[in-house]
Amino acid sequence: KAGVTQTPRYLIKTRGQQVTLSCSPISGHRSVSWYQQTPGQGLQFLFEYFSETQRNKGNFPGRFSGRQFSNSRSEMNVSTLELGDSALYLCASSLGYPGTSGYNEQFFGPGTRLTVL
């Protein structure tokens, strides 16, 4: 079974630009979560989508947004990029049924490394 895929793997942008990152979950997984990882802050939760609906949201500004499509693929968008947005952006998928043991293991994609100049 194919794992979680993310595109692009690397991205260089300048301040003020916007960026869209894509994530394809493991086949059959309906939940997709996005995380930002930086050396100083560790793994920070951005948002989670399940069946095209945002189910959870972290403490990030409105410049960070996302969506999920009917095939469970997800995109996240960052508008008006700032230098501090430079990070590894990770997508993780799970079957997505919280409260049920064994159905909520998350598997990560390889990540998109975003550099903002």
Give min distance, CB of 16 to other proteins, in A: 28
106 part of the interface to other proteins, by CB under 8 A? yes
Binder to other proteins among 1, 2, 42, 53 (CB under 8 A)? 42
The gap between the terminal CA atoms of the chain, to the nearest Å, is 37
Within 32-91, residue ranges assigned H as helices are none
Residues 11-40 that bind other proteins (CB under 8 A): 33, 35
The minimum distance between CB 65 and other proteins, in angstroms, equals: 18
Strand (E) positions, the chain?
5-7, 10-13, 19-24, 31-38, 42-50, 53-57, 64-68, 74-78, 87-94, 107-108, 112-116
By CB under 8 A, what part of segment 72-101 binds other proteins?
Answer: 88, 90, 92, 98-99, 101
CB of 110 to other proteins, least distance (A): 5
Q: How far apart are CA 55 and CA 75, in angstroms?
A: 15
Q: How far apart are CA 91 and CA 73, in angstroms?
A: 11
Rule CB under 8 A: which residues touch other proteins? Answer: 33, 35, 42-43, 45, 48, 55-56, 58, 88, 90, 92, 98-99, 101-102, 104-111
